Amino acid sequence: MSKKTLNRNLHKAKDAKNDEFYTQLPDIENELKHYKGQFRGKVVYCNCDDPFESNFFKYFAANFNALGLKKLITASYVKSPIVGGQLPLFEMEGLKPSGKEPFRIEIKEVTDINNDGAINLKDVEYLLKHDKNTATTLRDNGDFHSDECVKLLKKADIVVTNPPFSLFREYVEQLIKFDKKFLILGDLNAITYKEIFKLIKENKLWLGYDNGGTKWFQVPDDYDIKTESRKKIVNGVKYFSMGRILWFTNLDTTKRHGKLNLYKKYTSKEYPKYDNYNAIEVSKTADIPMNYNGKIGVPITFIDKYSPEQFEIIGLLADKREKSEALIQGTPTYLDEQHKKYVGAIVNGKATYARIIIKKCK
């Protein structure tokens, strides 16, 4: 391995460790309620999650029978930095590992020991006492790239997790490579990544349901949060809000088949054209004109309302450094020293944020 490759891998490992954010159970419940019929008879894999700390594991263990799962697999990436701080699932003496080794758990059966028709904490605690369920250490560090974790991935039908945001591109690339269904969390700006946008344009990836409001993630006590408004401590537990975090998926949703109700009419005064591309600027998705059939530039938040049955995605008007057949290369326009290489959306000499270029379907 070259020194350059080694340094790059070390940086990636550090970044992944720095963005270990633990998703709250209500956020998982609010999203997963929309997909229940799609999980029956499936093998679900929650990687990048400490099985002893993850709310994803807690959700699927508690709803194993209700969802009709075939198997639940979860694997951690090294030792959880919030060990003991989130879930009381495995508090029985001797059950939880005390070392730094990553673990995997495979659940094949969840028994309703109380025969009350519901899975409660006692039922979940019984999981690893059941002969059909196993908990074993991983030989490697639990990195999703490792051969060990790839083998687990190959067994799965659907992957549900919160992957390290710093590794989002290559994480999605792996899911696509192995043709897996998935429901994962990612940052809004991931839409502009050339690899992700290409999948969106080709209708191989879209957004889930619960993409509004603020999501708070549990972080280690020593995690540095510089902005006070993005930090809160509840009962001694530290939480961080990263801004707009979305659900990315290739599971079918009713949402993506619903059409926007357009009501505004086009005028050249209200909808100027870009200086460097033949399309009109629409700064809010709700303002897309009903009677314009040419190319339209919209903010990246449009993807949350996008229906492939109503609009065709032409490409992304963005910085020329992101090169892809899915991206549009606008005419270079010199604005000032800061923007001299900018070839994204420009209106009346002013650069805007990246714009998705769309057109109404015929």
Over the stretch 143-163, which tens digit does the pLDDT of each residue have? 888 899 999 999 999 999 988
Does residue 81 have a pLDDT over 50? Answer: no
Q: In the chain, at which residue ranges do the beta strands (DSSP E only) sit?
A: 22-23, 43-46, 71-75, 103-107, 134-137, 158-161, 181-187, 206-207, 216-218, 231-234, 237-241, 245-249, 280-281, 296-298, 311-317, 327-328, 346-347, 350-351, 355-360
pLDDT at position 141: 76
Helix (H) or strand (E) segment spanning residue 152: helix 147-155
Mode of pairing for the β-strands spanning 22-23 and 216-218: antiparallel
* SS (HEC) of 286-321: HHCCCCCCCCEEECHHHHHHCCCCCEEEEEEECCCC
Query: Within a 13 Å sphere around the CA of 178, how many CA atoms are in the beta-carbon half?
Result: 21
Q: Which of 5-9, 120-124, 207-211 comes out lowest in average pLDDT?
A: 5-9
Percent of the chain whose predicted confidence (pLDDT) is above 70: 69
Cα–Cα distances in Å, from 155 out to 90, 109, 250, 281, 331? Answer: 25, 17, 18, 46, 47
> Which residue has better confidence, 124 or 278?
278
| φ, ψ dihedrals at 55, nearest 5° | -75, -20
pLDDT in tens, 212-271: 766 766 666 676 767 776 677 777 777 667 668 899 999 999 999 999 999 999 999 999
Query: Within a 13 Å sphere around the CA of 254, how many CA atoms are in the beta-carbon half?
Result: 7
* CA 9 centroid distance within chain: 22
Whole-angstrom Cα distance, residue 167 to residue 13? 9
Which residues, in sequence order, are CB contacts of 7 under 8 Å at separation 6+? none
Cα–Cα distances in Å, from 72 out to 127, 204, 221, 231, 286? Answer: 11, 25, 30, 33, 41
In terms of Cβ atoms closer than 10 Å to its own Cβ (0-12, 13-18, 19+), residue 161 is buried
| Joined tokens for residue 84 | 């003991």
* Mean pLDDT estimate for the chain: 78
Q: Which domains does the chain have, with CATH numbers?
A: 12-255 (3.40.50), 258-362 (no CATH)
- Name the nearest CA neighbour of 146 among 13, 17, 19: 13
Whole-angstrom Cα distance, residue 86 to residue 57? 12
Q: Please, which pLDDT band fits residue 307 given cuts at 50, 70 and 90?
A: very high
pLDDT in tens, 212-226: 766 766 666 676 767
Does residue 347 have a pLDDT over 60? Answer: yes
Whole-angstrom Cα distance, residue 146 to residue 234? 36
Whole-angstrom Cα distance, residue 288 to residue 307? 14
Cα–Cα distances in Å, from 164 out to 33, 41, 56, 140, 248? Answer: 24, 28, 15, 18, 14
Helix (H) or strand (E) segment spanning residue 13: helix 3-18
Whole-angstrom Cα distance, residue 276 to residue 32? 42
